[in-house]
Structure 1
Amino acid sequence: MSMDPDILRDYVSEARELLEQAQSDALALECAPDSDAVLASLFRAFHTLKGGAGFLDADALVEWTHHLEDLLDKLRSHVLPVTPTTIDVILKGLDVIQCMLDELGRGVYPNPGPSDLGQRICALASVEDVHTSPPESASENVRPIAEQPTGVESAESGTLQAWQKLKPDGKVGVYVERVSEGKDKGAVCVESASKAGDDAASDTISDEEFEQVLDALYGHKAPGVVPPAERRVMDSQVASTAVLPGALPQATAPAPVTSVAAVKTERPSSTSETPESTLRVESARLDSVMNQVGELVLLRNRFLSAMQTTIGEHEDLARIAREMDLTVNDMQSTVMRLRMQPCKRLFQQLPRVVRDVSRQLGKRVNLQFVGEDVEIDKKVVDALSAPLIHLVRNSLDHGIETPADRVMLGKNEIATLRISAVHLGDKVRIEVSDDGNGIDAQQVKQKAVEKGLIGQEEAARLTESDAIDLIFRPGFSTNDVVTEYSGRGVGMDVVKKTTQSLRGRLDVHTNLGTGTTIAMEFPLTLAVLPVLYLRLRRDVYAIPISSVSSLIDVDPQRLYQVQGRALYQAGPEQIVPFVDLGEILHQRPIQLGTEPTDGILTERGLLVVSEVLGNEDSVVKPIDFLSESHWYQGATLSGKGEVVLILDIANLKHSQAEPKRGVA
């Protein structure tokens, strides 16, 4: 393509956002088929996509969006009813647009869409209503742009005033803006400068005329395109503000297979963000800035460490050091906020997944969202997309029963699938919960033995929690038959690996017969990691401070051996695994009562070390030779300039039992 790469990149980026909104609108339309506002929002998305595609000469995309636009025109005029079939066609049409945008993103013109789906769209778009005809007043006002007066004639006619300016590349430049509040609602102002540099002429036009302008400019017919409807009348609500699916009234018709509910049901108007308040920046540039801030944090740490011996003797130097510390902290916090994105960006793909899968499985599901405005690091949003989809599909396939089975069990035939996000201090917890049949630990152990993942003796020793953890083993599946959604033994292990790679933790809470919750916890940001330094004999290590509950003195009298496992009584009613880092990392256990010891109570158990040194903000650096070891998250540079390995608590303890309540 000869198109400017910056223009192409901007279009593809904005088009993807339009596509996401169009998918949300399509799903909302299924729940509220009589909503003109949703139809208008969906129509605008296709119209904008078509306009940009025409500017890029992406004829296949222009053709495809034009067909979908014709279909929506039938829905808006109520010639064609909104049914699950029409929604299916629209969603599949959006999938084709996604593929076309992927091709544009690679710098190539997209190929035409699949002919069979195109024929279905055209067939629906060609339906005519013999009982109604377009209003004469509307049809009289809609004329091709070639018939519209131009130049001085347009000023005299009082209809459409628009001058066209030919650019060197032959493109037509048209400048469009919404008129002020004092003019008619729904009006649009179209203006352009003349080639000779005369004053621009402008006036208001109706929505019908505005649509005709865009059709004439960008909706040119490509080979194989079905001619657009001759009379297309745009609702006055096209100029209205888009609304979230959750804000729509529920349809009075029979409930669809899947419904979507959200705690927050309103979103700001699309006009709330002006060009002056929003700036698009490549994520790579933000990553570069964050890396530089990380290096600044390390330099700050080294400076403060080096000045500790002399800073008390110089008051001015001490004040400068404090001010520098505050400034670096503020800069770090500001840059980290730039990387934060609402969880809504992560959740927005799930309604489509739930709708498609539940329909194919014959299940009825009410999808609920909580905490869509909770913000999390962009890296987590990007990395967690596929794992979250797998968790949802797994819940639909394995956890939730069919309507008939649910009725037999005394449950509501419509299952509830809840996706939530909540702040927990410096972490974010994301949960996928269902009210299905839960996980049978005994069945899990039996399947693991059958597949050769564990032996009979090991299975007998496993606690219920350990048995449930087997679902994250590669190759494990409780399904005997391979289906489109499960049975291959892949997916859950990827969920666990992804969670760990993001410095997160994964927990499963299940009750047989009542449901399952799979929870993932992640740090708010992955750019800077607060760590606690510790010494193990002569070596220094670090652990994420977010995993530390408290520091305690280790009492040898509270150490017990239960079925070959070391447990420690951390409190009156708290028994936790006893993790001896000396035994794990040095193959030489720490001698309690003989060697100096400190205890670090973590979410995974009690770590026994030689000494706790202190805490510090750090920047995690990946090290190649550590990739084969599951004990380390990476390395960092301490304030003294030393390379320190960061331990992965979950993997250090993976052979230990989960913390238990109550003394056994």
Structure 2
Amino acid sequence: MAICLKKFVLRFIDEGRGHLQTISEGAFLLSADEHTEAWIGEMFRAAHTLKGGARMLKLQSIADVTHHLEDVLSELRDKKLTPDRGLGNLIHESVEYLSGQLTQLFVSEGDNQLPPADAGLCERLARASRGEAVTLVVEGAGATEKTVLPTPAAAASLDSGIKQADFVRVKLNKLDGLIDILGEVLAGHDRLEQQIQNLSQLVPRLPGLSAEQLRQQIHDFSAQLRESVQLQHLQMFELYDVAARIRMLPLSTLFEPISLQVSELASTLNKQVVCRFVGGEVEIDRQLIDRLSESLTHLLRNAVDHGIGETDERLALGKSTRGTITITTQQDGSGILLRIEDDGRGLNYEAISAKAVSKGLVPASMAGQLSEQECNELIFHPGFSTSKIVSELSGRGVGLDVVRKTVVTDLQGDLQVYSRAGVGTSFSLRLPVSLTMMRILQFEEQGHLLGLAAQYVVEVVECTAQGISDIAGRPAIILHNEFIPVVCAGTLLGIHERQGSSPTAGQRLIVVQNQFSKMALRVDKLLDERKMMIKPLPKHMQQQSLVSGMVQTPDNQLVSILQVPALMAMAQQSRQTTAPAPAVNVTPGAWHVLVVDDSLNTREIEKNVLEAHGYQVTLAEDGLSGLQKAKLTQFDAVLTDVEMPFMDGFTFTKSLRGEKNYQHTPIIIVTSRAKEEDRRRGIQVGADAYIAKGDFEQDSLIKTLKMLLC
């Protein structure tokens, strides 16, 4: 059955407006010579996405111009072109043309019959991308050049040039619920007015009341007022919830255009791909749906082009010639879980590692030693691509960095990747249902009120100063089978300690997590956790990454909501700056140790300890991955945790001992399981030493390792 494209045009116009505004603002900066590499990257991604959407909807004139514009921006991003006023003017001219095309689309009510692309504009863009001088448009013989100087006002005009689809269909039962709760709120307001009237009638009688009668009257009035205020408080939150549900849309509204995109992309690549959807009835805020569509487009393009292999490759793996992409949505606590899975080839970790080395992201000595999680992180690096051919869909290094920024930074969510060679790849997105009301954990540091979005908070703990150990040159705690670094919030944020203040005996730690990494944030005082209305930042503050918004306390104080991903990046950068890891010159005779642990923090800490003493280290995130690496490389010693997914440490140790070349290799189990029966089992399966993390001391680990290797 043919799919009508008209109903998708309005959404394309909405998204196109935002992309053109990004490009226009960047063109202004280019003309004023105030550009940054980040801005050029944003402009490039905007043009790339706009081109892809236009091609899906058969809007050839828009696709042609954005394709040439993307080429120019690609050369600028790769520093093959030098930004100047002429290029800025040419880019802005392109934006004006594309804005006019979108306006024509809107006026024609989605009719796709646009005139052919402006050949002159396309030719000038093509010449500019080749490094030729930019020729500006002139008006008549002897006329001066037509100078197009974009301004902030011109960029803002994009907002009014195209009407936004600012309406949603609302079910009658939702409106009925809204009216019902409004009635209850009005009734509560009437009760408060009546109580004020009762108070005014009481005032003239006060001189004739005894002290006991006066106390009773005040007590009764206070109890009634407290009950009314509490009831109104509940009603106001219920009113917000009902009103917010009106703006909710099922994710199925995204699924039909997604299916169309998958079909079109697969056809372009001569592949057979089917898209399956589960849980499309789950509803989220319409604003989230709009901002999520671009990320889903990038993930699907990636799945079709990179994930689903060629027909002969699939047949060799015993798979059907038709690839499958499954999009599953489900409720996940107070948010939703969105998973995009393909049954393709899986990530090529060897190619990712090699590309990372060639781009200078990791040293050559790390080639082949990166863990799967580390490789998973690398694919989100801007400009990272393992494709050897630059085409319309691949090789430009755009897409996944946009997804990471949108999901983690803009939408306050979480993004994880799982992949198995020959099986497929899965991207899991955890998102809040709404961005306007969230649970916030508030704390105080050096007199400053701060907050964290609750979805990043793992738990809150309090420990003594003795409970914080010095491991690999930095403070850390041992919590639930993993080492977690401890960072002082005030030091990290540059808030200096007040004179006369002194640390108390108890250490209040907020354990936060982003992706696979955790950090314990030491704070002065914990306040509370509650559902709060998020106020957006002023426009002049929206470019900074540390604060995502503000909330207001009942006594009208403003609380800054800190971005956990930005905090953790600051902490990592601070560690590298203040206490850089000692340089390690690995010689051919150095002992090579395999460290197996599902905790990223624990792996990194143990790696730092070992490298500080001259060992060469390879990491694995679970027993199965560790066993595979051990079969490919002969290690001199192995450190392993017990509690891990896919294959635990006991099974891993036993399996490793079954390998002929590992029957006498030292194996040390490092785990939080300190019971005697666990120790005995570790020795029974073949471990040479068993170290409990609660008793962990890096010197004893090194001594044990040296003793076993000698």
Q: Is 1:532 equivalent to 2:441 in the alignment?
A: yes
Q: Is 1:337 equivalent to 2:245 in the alignment?
A: yes
> Alignment partner of 1:634: what SS?
strand
Q: Is 1:360 equivalent to 2:268 in the alignment?
A: yes
Q: Is 1:627 equivalent to 2:542 in the alignment?
A: yes
Answer yes or no: is the 8 Å Cα contact 1:567–1:577 preserved in 2: yes
Q: Is 1:479 equivalent to 2:393 in the alignment?
A: no
Answer yes or no: is the 8 Å Cα contact 2:328–2:340 preserved in 1: yes
TM-aligned CA deviation for residue 432 of structure 1: 0.9
Structure 2 unaligned blocks of 5 or more: 12-55, 64-97, 117-167, 176-181, 183-188, 190-217, 573-598, 603-642, 645-670, 672-692, 694-710
TM-aligned CA deviation for residue 441 of structure 1: 3.5
TM-score normalised according to structure 1 size: 0.53
Partner residue of 2:564?
649
* Aligned counterparts of 1:459 and 1:588: Cα–Cα separation in 2: 41
Partner residue of 1:386?
294
TM-aligned CA deviation for residue 540 of structure 1: 1.6
Answer yes or no: is the 8 Å Cα contact 1:508–1:517 preserved in 2: yes
* Equivalent in 522, 532, 541 of residue 608 of structure 1: 522
Answer yes or no: is the 8 Å Cα contact 1:621–1:634 preserved in 2: yes
> Alignment partner of 1:362: what SS?
coil
Partner residue of 1:496?
404
> Alignment partner of 1:478: what SS?
coil
For residues 627 and 515 of structure 1, do their structure 2 counterparts lie closer, same or farther at Cα, with a shift above 3 Å needed? same
Partner residue of 2:355?
447
TM-aligned CA deviation for residue 644 of structure 1: 1.4
**Which region of structure 1 is more displaced relative to structure 2, 374-383 or 353-362?**
353-362
Answer yes or no: is the 8 Å Cα contact 1:534–1:541 preserved in 2: yes
Amino acid at match of 1:505: D
For residues 521 and 620 of structure 1, do their structure 2 counterparts lie closer, same or farther at Cα, with a shift above 3 Å needed? farther
* Aligned counterparts of 1:342 and 1:349: Cα–Cα separation in 2: 14
> Alignment partner of 1:473: what SS?
coil
**Which region of structure 1 is more displaced relative to structure 2, 424-433 or 614-623?**
614-623
* Aligned counterparts of 1:112 and 1:377: Cα–Cα separation in 2: 29
In the TM superposition, 1:167-566 aligns within 5 A as: 277=172, 314-456=222-364, 463-499=371-407, 500-556=409-465, 559=468
The C-alpha deviation readout for 1:479-510, integer Å capped at 9, x for no partner, is: 12101111111111111111121121211122
Answer yes or no: is the 8 Å Cα contact 1:623–1:634 preserved in 2: no
TM-aligned CA deviation for residue 359 of structure 1: 2.1
TM-aligned CA deviation for residue 625 of structure 1: 5.1
* Aligned counterparts of 1:277 and 1:376: Cα–Cα separation in 2: 18
> Alignment partner of 1:472: what SS?
coil
Amino acid at match of 2:424: G
Answer yes or no: is the 8 Å Cα contact 2:449–2:558 preserved in 1: no
* Aligned counterparts of 1:634 and 1:643: Cα–Cα separation in 2: 10
* Aligned counterparts of 1:485 and 1:276: Cα–Cα separation in 2: 40
Higher relative contact order (CA 8 A, sep 6+): 1
* Aligned counterparts of 1:451 and 1:422: Cα–Cα separation in 2: 38
Partner residue of 1:638?
553
Amino acid at match of 2:245: R
> Alignment partner of 1:603: what SS?
strand
TM-aligned CA deviation for residue 456 of structure 1: 3.9
* Aligned counterparts of 2:261 and 2:513: Cα–Cα separation in 1: 33
TM-aligned CA deviation for residue 634 of structure 1: 1.9
Answer yes or no: is the 8 Å Cα contact 2:345–2:423 preserved in 1: yes
Larger helix proportion of the pair: 2
**Which region of structure 1 is more displaced relative to structure 2, 649-658 or 330-339?**
649-658
Answer yes or no: is the 8 Å Cα contact 1:598–1:609 preserved in 2: yes
For residues 344 and 311 of structure 1, do their structure 2 counterparts lie closer, same or farther at Cα, with a shift above 3 Å needed? farther
Number of equivalenced pairs:
399
For residues 519 and 588 of structure 1, do their structure 2 counterparts lie closer, same or farther at Cα, with a shift above 3 Å needed? farther
Amino acid at match of 1:622: L
TM-aligned CA deviation for residue 338 of structure 1: 1.0
Structure 1 unaligned blocks of 5 or more: 1-13, 22-90, 117-272, 281-288, 290-295, 297-309
Answer yes or no: is the 8 Å Cα contact 2:8–2:257 preserved in 1: no
TM-score normalised according to structure 2 size: 0.49
* Aligned counterparts of 2:502 and 2:375: Cα–Cα separation in 1: 32
The C-alpha deviation readout for 1:27-63, integer Å capped at 9, x for no partner, is: xxxxxxxxxxxxxxxxxxxxxxxxxxxxxxxxxxxxx
For residues 97 and 391 of structure 1, do their structure 2 counterparts lie closer, same or farther at Cα, with a shift above 3 Å needed? closer
TM-aligned CA deviation for residue 455 of structure 1: 4.1
Answer yes or no: is the 8 Å Cα contact 2:386–2:395 preserved in 1: yes
**Which region of structure 1 is more displaced relative to structure 2, 518-527 or 616-625?**
616-625
Amino acid at match of 1:631: L
TM-aligned CA deviation for residue 349 of structure 1: 1.1
Answer yes or no: is the 8 Å Cα contact 1:581–1:589 preserved in 2: no
Amino acid at match of 1:614: D
* Aligned counterparts of 1:356 and 1:459: Cα–Cα separation in 2: 37
Amino acid at match of 1:364: Q
Amino acid at match of 1:542: G
> Alignment partner of 1:597: what SS?
strand
Partner residue of 1:266?
none
TM-aligned CA deviation for residue 374 of structure 1: 0.4
> Alignment partner of 1:553: what SS?
strand
Partner residue of 1:581?
489
For residues 460 and 410 of structure 1, do their structure 2 counterparts lie closer, same or farther at Cα, with a shift above 3 Å needed? closer
- Identity across the alignment (%): 26
* Aligned counterparts of 1:588 and 1:461: Cα–Cα separation in 2: 40
* Aligned counterparts of 1:442 and 1:436: Cα–Cα separation in 2: 17
Answer yes or no: is the 8 Å Cα contact 1:631–1:648 preserved in 2: yes
> Alignment partner of 1:525: what SS?
coil
* Aligned counterparts of 2:288 and 2:170: Cα–Cα separation in 1: 28
> Alignment partner of 1:373: what SS?
coil
Answer yes or no: is the 8 Å Cα contact 2:263–2:274 preserved in 1: no
* Aligned counterparts of 2:431 and 2:496: Cα–Cα separation in 1: 33
